[in-house]
Amino acid sequence: MVTRSYTRLILFAILIFFNTSIFFSMDNVNTELELNKALDLYKKGDILVIDIRTSNEWKMTGVIPNSILINMHDNSNQERQDFVKELKKELSLNQSKNIAFICASGARSKIVLDFLISHGYKNVFHIPDGILGTQNNGWLYQGYPIIDFNESKEIK
C-alpha cells in the first residue's frame, strides 16, 4: 500500500516536472525582434521583412528596402480577403528564410505572427516597435534604412 502511494507520488511529480518544463520551454521561444536585432539581421541578409501596412502608410513613411509588401487591410481599414492567401504563398516561396513582420506600431504584426504560429509556421517573428512605434521610436525614427514607396518593387 505504501509502495503504491510512493509510486503514484513519484509518477505525479514526474508528470508535473515534464509539463512544467514543456510549458516554460514554450515561453522561452522568442518571436519578438527588438529594433537593433532586426536591423542587424536585416543588414546580414538573415531575415526577410514583410510589411503588412496599407499602401497609404507606405506612401506616407516609405518602406524598408527589399521588403515584401502585402497589405493586411485596404486603405479603408477593411481586412483584405486575399491577405492570408498572399501571405501563405510568400511564406511557401521563402520556407528556408527567417521572416519578420512589421506594421506601424506592432499590433497587426503580432496578430499575424500569432495566427501563423497557431498554424504551425516556424521561423516567423515580428518587430513590435514597428515602422513608427508607439512613441515615435520605431524603425523610421531610428534612422534605419527606408526608401520611397515608389522605388519599391515588391508589391502584392
* Average of per-residue pLDDT values in the chain: 84
Architecture label for domain 31-151: 3-Layer(aba) Sandwich (3.40)
Angle in degrees, CA 52, 53, 54, rounded to 5:
125
Alpha-helical runs (H) found in 28-155: 35-44, 55-61, 83-93, 107-118
Decide which of 152 and 29 is more confident: 152
Distance CA 125, CA 120 (A): 13
Q: How far is the CA of 93 from the CAs of 73, 86, 88, in angstroms? A: 22, 11, 9
Strands (E), 94-140: 99-102, 124-126
Each residue's pLDDT tens digit, 97-150: 999 999 999 999 999 999 999 999 999 999 999 999 999 999 999 999 999 998
Average pLDDT of the residues in 20-49: 76
Residue 56 exposed, middle or buried by CB count within 10 Å (0-12, 13-18, 19+): middle
Distance CA 122, CA 7 (A): 39
**What's the pTM value of the predicted model, to 2 decimals?**
0.79
Residue with the three cell numbers 521583412: 49
